[in-house]
Amino acid sequence: MSDQTIGNPQCLEKLAKKNPKYEHIKSKLDTGPNLSNFVEKKLKTYLRYSKEELFKRMKVTALAKLMLQVASIAELEENEPGKKQPDPGVVSVQPSCFHRSTLQSVICGVGELDLKSDMQNAAKETLVPTPDLADRPYPDCPYLLLDVRDDELYDHCHIISSHSYPTISLCRIINPYTKEVLDYRNAMGKIIILYDEDEKLATQAATIMCQRGFENLYVLSGGLKAVARKFPRGMTTGSFPAACLLLPVSKGKKCCKVQPPPQPAETRQRFTSDELSILQQRLEEMNNNSNTSSKNTQSF
């Protein structure tokens, strides 16, 4: 008999080919504290997932933290020392070359070269007013916030830096998406967040958009109702809808808070310094309350 072994001894070292059909299935074995488990737990604290939903969810507190980070980074970049900042009210325009009349216009007796008028027009074009800083979005903003309610409701109240994008826009056969939506669609490092009053319209719109190929789509959990409960000031402009301010009572009746006179919403893309400080203070209050509650539960 020969001393040769049966089979290849390295066959056990071969790795099985991965089947893309089962790539989404993860092991339920707890491997202990490691980096992947830590990152997954951190994501679950800010985002919520559901097996039946094609999109992801974002908490209102996570959105507030994201807004503060974007505003602080934009302020640092724009106020960077040594960087020349343009005047927000005036932008310089290079005077264009004098338009010389064509042969046909000269024949007709119009369009002759007039140095004096051209110089006056060039002087007028050197100072052109630009939109205020509040109307301009943050540079390289990583999120696009879309209000899927009707335009009338958007004009009464909406989250600052959001764009109006009613759900009826998805029913269009031609150009169902705005330029901003196309720029953020599946872009690296950017997300799209949908919201409404109670996330009913937002979930429907998000499902349709995910079925059409959107992969970086989020829905704001709770909508404006959650914003009114956690951030009554600082995050929105205008007056909250009455449905967002109703609180249930134990007797089965509903009591309504005393509402200030309604104010129209402002269309702007940036937060003021006061609004950012209000958001920061509110986040610190909620963090302190959660820490005290956790300490009380541990004491029992």
Residue type present at position 116: K
CA distance 277 to 67: 12
Residue 122: exposure state from Cβ atoms within 10 A (0-12, 13-18, ≥19): middle
- Please report, rounded to a whole number, the percentage of residues in the chain having pLDDT higher than 70: 62
Confidence at residue 292, expressed as pLDDT on a 0 to 100 scale? 75
Query: Does a structural domain hold residue 212?
Result: yes
Pick the range with the lowest mean pLDDT from 36-45, 112-121, 192-201, 230-239: 112-121
Query: Does a structural domain hold residue 42?
Result: no
Confidence at residue 290, expressed as pLDDT on a 0 to 100 scale? 77
Query: Does a structural domain hold residue 197?
Result: yes
Does residue 291 register a pLDDT over 70? yes
Query: Does a structural domain hold residue 269?
Result: yes
* Cβ count within 10 A of residue 195: 28
Query: Does a structural domain hold residue 204?
Result: yes
Q: How confident is the model at residue 119 (pLDDT cuts 50, 70, 90)?
A: very low
How large is the greatest C-alpha to C-alpha distance in the chain, in angstroms? 113
**pLDDT tens digits, residue range 87-104?**
544 433 343 333 333 333
Average pLDDT (274-283) is 95
Phi, psi of 180 (to 5 degrees): -65, -40
Angle between the N-to-C axes of helices 273-299 and 60-78, in degrees from 0 to 180, rounded to the nearest 10: 140
Query: Does a structural domain hold residue 99?
Result: no
Q: Which domain holds residue 254?
A: 48-74+135-283
Return the CATH number at 219: 3.40.250.10
98 three-state secondary structure: coil
Query: Does a structural domain hold residue 53?
Result: yes
Query: Does a structural domain hold residue 149?
Result: yes
**Domains of the chain: total:** 1
